[in-house]
Amino acid sequence: MYKLVILDADGTLFNYEEAEKYALRESFKLFSFEGDILDISNCYKEINLNLWLELEKGNITKEKLRYERFSRLFKKYKLDYDVNKFSDQYLLKLGESNFLIDEAEVVCKYLKNKGYKIIILTNGIKKVQVSRLEKSNIKEYIDNMIVSEEVGANKPDPVIFDYTFNLIGHNDKNNVIMIGDSLTADIQGGINHGIDTCWVNLNKIENTTNIIPKYEIHTLGELTTIL
């Protein structure tokens, strides 16, 4: 039924939580932070999540986001760190991390062996995503990766899906599926573009929205029952 599989990156293939912990821990270490790393990391996580939601709505640019999150964090904790230098260091460390979600490599290999074309479509920061993919064990299975920065539009905007289809020369929406962990970006984006969707709900959270995916899975391995 499907020929083209579009996969999100963070939270779908890559374990972003582990990458974030690593990048924050290493960056704060370099800046000689002596406070509670767990407390400040939890605060950062909340600030960052809210800003990414604003990005999806078009209320903030990605360039501003990458610095604004630390500006707010440092203000709250009264830290006199250079926001730009810290952000650059954090992105460097984030790009070093290539923690994968359980079964990501197995599933990508399965999809490639089945003959699917595999595309990663991500709202992430390009230099980080490219670096992580290059270092990962799934690189050989991925046909292409499209990052929103190069498009000028973020999921769920249909523009990024139009760009993807045009870039890879695919024009049949009936044999495409969008797979991702974000209801508001991945699933809504797929629905907006008129393609089937699969929600990767690893934490088995309740869907209280009106965004309804065609499929829902709780482990990546369950994709083999759909594809």
| Catalytically active residues, by annotation | 8
Nearest partner of 120 among 62, 160, 61, judged by Cα: 160
Those residues with Cβ within 8 angstroms of residue 100's Cβ, 6 or more apart along the chain or in another chain: 13, 14, 15, 136, 137, 138
Those residues with Cβ within 8 angstroms of residue 17's Cβ, 6 or more apart along the chain or in another chain: none
Amino acid, single-letter form, for residue 76: K
Nearest partner of 198 among 173, 215, 219, judged by Cα: 215
Q: Are 174 and 2 in contact (CB under 8 A)?
A: no
Please report, for residues 2, 117, 151, 187, 202, the alpha-carbon distance to residue 177 in angstroms, rounded to integers and kept in the order given. 7, 11, 20, 10, 18
Those residues with Cβ within 8 angstroms of residue 142's Cβ, 6 or more apart along the chain or in another chain: 108, 118, 119, 120, 133
Q: Are 8 and 121 in contact (CB under 8 A)?
A: yes
**Token digits for 216?**
């829902």
Q: Are 133 and 145 in contact (CB under 8 A)?
A: yes
